[in-house]
């Protein structure tokens, strides 16, 4: 999973930039780099996946039990975390930034049709409940590059 949070900015609307890492932690774990990217070992972001819901809805989150505590530590949905909040998944009352939401909708719409060979411009709609979305397509490096994030 290549979710690019290296710029230290939250992908959640109105969340701004993440707080810099503690200098001691940064020195021990990241060679002194204080820029937060939530990617120390890659386990957390690799656990970021989606679940298809009814209709054309998807749920994005950390569903792997071993990574849920770490995800809550940064998102603080429980309200119990003592870590600086680094929201990378919107709460129920929040949304992704508009550019990400537009990109997700585009990927969903692209996966709802089968395009015939170039010489035939017919588009055949699929049943909305058939498609699957690879979370790497939504939040991977190419997605962020395509939408200038």
What would the pLDDT profile of 103-112 be if each residue is shown by its tens digit? 777 777 777 6
Which among 17, 50, 60, 59 has a CA at the least distance from the CA of 35? 17
Q: What is the rounded CA–CA span in Å between residue 9 and residue 2?
A: 15
Q: What is the rounded CA–CA span in Å between residue 39 and residue 54?
A: 31
Domain count, the chain: 1
| Predicted local confidence at residue 1, as pLDDT | 31
The verdict on residue 15 lying in a domain is no
The verdict on residue 16 lying in a domain is no
**Boundaries of domain holding 74:** 23-146
62, 48 contact by CB (below 8 A): yes
26, 108 contact by CB (below 8 A): no
| Predicted local confidence at residue 14, as pLDDT | 93
The verdict on residue 11 lying in a domain is no
pLDDT higher than 60, residue 77: yes
The verdict on residue 116 lying in a domain is yes
Q: What is the rounded CA–CA span in Å between residue 121 and residue 55?
A: 27
pLDDT higher than 60, residue 43: yes
Q: What pTM did the predictor assign?
A: 0.64
| Predicted local confidence at residue 146, as pLDDT | 59
């Amino acid at each position: 999973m290549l979710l690019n949070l290296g710029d230290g900015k939250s992908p959640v609307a109105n969340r701004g930039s993440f707080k810099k890492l503690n200098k001691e932690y940064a020195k021990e774990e990241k060679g002194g780099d204080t820029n937060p990217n939530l990617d120390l070992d890659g386990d957390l972001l690799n656990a970021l996946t989606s679940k298809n819901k009814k209709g054309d809805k998807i749920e994005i989150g950390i569903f792997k039990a071993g990574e849920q505590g770490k995800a809550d530590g940064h998102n603080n949905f429980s309200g119990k975390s003592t870590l600086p909040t680094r929201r990378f998944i919107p709460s129920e009352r929040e949304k992704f930034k508009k550019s990400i939401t537009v990109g997700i909708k585009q990927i969903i719409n692209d996966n709802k049709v089968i395009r015939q060979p170039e010489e035939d411009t017919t588009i055949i709609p699929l049943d909305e409940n058939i498609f699957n979305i690879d979370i790497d397509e939504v939040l991977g490096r190419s997605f962020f590059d395509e939408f200038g994030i």
